[in-house]
Amino acid sequence: MSSVALIAVVGAVISTVTAIALHSYLQGKLDAQLFDAIVRAELPRPHDPQRNEGLEFVAMPGQPFGSVGSRVAPDGTLGAGARVNRSQSRTPSERLTSLSGEQLAALASVPRDAKPHTQHLPRLGSYRVQYAGDGALVFGMPLNEVNDTVGRLVLIECCVTGSGLVAAGIAGSAMVGIALRPLRRVAATATRVSELPLHQGEVALHVRVPLAEADARTEVGQVGAALNRMLGHVGSALSARQESETRVRRFVADASHELRTPLASIRGYAELTRRGQERPGPETRHALGRIESEAERMTGLVEDLLLLARLDSGRPLSYDTVDLAPLVVDALSDARAAGPEHRWRLELPEADAPVLVRGDADRLQQILVNLLANARTHTPEGTTVTARVRARAAQRAGGVVQLEVQDDGPGIPGALLPHVFERFARGDASRSRSVGGGKGGGSTGLGLAIVQAVVAAHDGTVEVASAPGRTVFTVTLPAAGEGVSGGVQGGGDGARATGARPGPPPSHSRRTASPHGGDRPVGERGDHDDAIAGPDAAGFPAAT
């Protein structure tokens, strides 16, 4: 575009200079012709003295059509004036047409300095007008031919310049397109690399710029060669990173697996010693309790590390069609037993159709357990924790299912929120009611990392939104198909709200296989109507 603009500027300058030069040249020729006509009109004619006083000089041979002239009276005013018409008569008087008063007034206004001047005559156009040296007459010739010639030149120049600009634009675009074609291929290579999932997993970075675009003798080739060298270095670094991560994962998996046996032995011997025939003293009982507590905490940490190592290695899960509602009821019942000082609430879809997803029941149960444990561990006593299930329509077939765990605790600090799903991420004291060892103490920092890994393995997403008084973890999973539309569509309206409070769990009419083995009763989504009736009803109190 800049080259086309430059050509336009150059063309405009050339056209303007050419038009001005031609106009000056033609006007100069007309001025010379005007001067010759005045000289011939001033020549004495002894054989015809009347012609020296009439207007026949206006129609002398060689004068162009439209020429005007007039004699100056002794008092300085103009007498009658005439204009050469297009008559073919040989008589000069018949080839003349009288001028009007306005036209004579225009001629009289021309400076009488014996120099040509441009003057506009009403209804006749522009003229070059000049008085004779002695001021006895005035003569003018039309500028129509000069203006017409210059106008045609300007039109031709505009057409030629416009055509040249169009041709230059087309040719320039084609040339630039051909010149940038190798650079576009280099850009396409960089785009393909940017779309690769380089942040995780084993990456095979085999994308390279073609050798034809990596010729160091051209500028584009130098860019392509530099990009190839950079991709080679990046590929080597990624391979080294993957090897290091593989070694670390293998070490973590092996260490976790090997630590399970000695930790189980420590717990077993401590419990055996505490329950032996010899009655240990208070200090010994306290020490044994601490040993069992720390061994249990270490066992949980080892199990979490082993699970993360297996998920990172891509070990396949055991997929089946799972109804999420019983899992949520089971998990919330367990959380109520572990944290009776919290208020637990449950919201399930109103209809009786199951909320089905395709996944591993044990791992989905662990998602719920970790999210509820996170809310219990990092919020003060009396906090209300709500677990809800939503079935939503989606663009893809089957829709999606959402699991939400919400609490009204102090919230997650803003600095920690972007890193909450990272491994060993820990909140500060504002969201932690218990810190330190012992059962139910501080978290290991792996719970939410396991949640994210398991959700990703199920082709889902997990998000968190937190503010003081409201923290919501939302897990979105693809629905399994039939049976999903019986829940809440597009929001919480119509959901049946239930909850849990300290006391025996409610009776349920449906039974399902527990992820911990055996059959156990689970919540029937139509069985909690009595829970909404009042605070003394069994089961889960209504969520508001």
With CA atoms as reference, report the closest residue to 338 among 436, 440, 433, 432.
Answer: 440
Task: Report in angstroms the alpha-carbon separations of 538 from 29, 453, 498, 500, 529.
Answer: 117, 36, 10, 8, 10
Sequence-distant (6+) residues with CB within 8 A of 200 are: none
pLDDT band for 268, please (50, 70, 90 cuts). confident
Cβ-defined contacts of 14-18 (< 8 Å, 24+): 14/157, 15/154, 15/157, 15/158, 15/161, 18/153, 18/157
Among 136-145, 147-156, 425-434, the minimum mean pLDDT is found in: 425-434
List of residues 6+ apart from 158 with CB closer than 8 A = 15
Question: Is residue 364 within 8 Å of 454, Cβ to Cβ?
Answer: yes
Within 10 angstroms of residue 435's Cβ, the number of other Cβ atoms is 12
pLDDT (tens digit per residue) in 162-184? 898 888 888 888 888 887 788 88
CA nearest neighbour of 343 among 372, 371, 373, 383: 383
- Give 479's DSSP letter: B
pLDDT higher than 50, residue 283: yes
What is the pLDDT averaged over residues 482-494? 38
Tell me which DSSP letter residue 316 carries.
P
How is residue 48 written in tokens?
Answer: 């015809």
Torsions phi, psi for 340 (to 5 deg): -65, -15
Query: SS3 sequence, 78-104?
Result: EEEEEEECCCCCCCHHHHEEECCHHHH
d(CA 107, CA 129): 8
For strands 356-359 and 320-323, give the pairing: antiparallel
Give residue 30's pLDDT band: very low, low, confident or very high (50, 70, 90). very high
The helix (run of H) or strand (run of E) holding residue 374 is helix 361-377
Phi/psi region, residue 438 (left: phi>0; alpha: psi -120 to 50; beta: rest), is: left
d(CA 488, CA 356): 13
pLDDT digits (tens, 9 = 90+) for 437-480: 444 445 567 888 889 888 988 889 999 999 999 999 999 998 87
pLDDT above 80 (res 84):
yes
The residue with greater pLDDT, 455 or 530, is 455
Amino acid at 77: T
Among 543, 417, 413, 410, which residue's Cα sits nearest to residue 469? 410
Contact 518, 476 (CB under 8 A): no
Cite the DSSP H helix spans in 446-513.
447-457
Nearest residue to 483 via CA among 349, 305, 386: 349
CA–CA gap between residue 64 and residue 56 (Å, rounded): 14
Question: Can you give the pLDDT at residue 233?
Answer: 87
What mean pLDDT, rounded, does the chain reach? 77
Between the alpha carbon of residue 296 and those of residues 309, 310, 498, the distances in Å are 20, 21, 33
How would DSSP label each residue in 63-82? Answer: PPTT-EEEEEPTTS-EEEEE
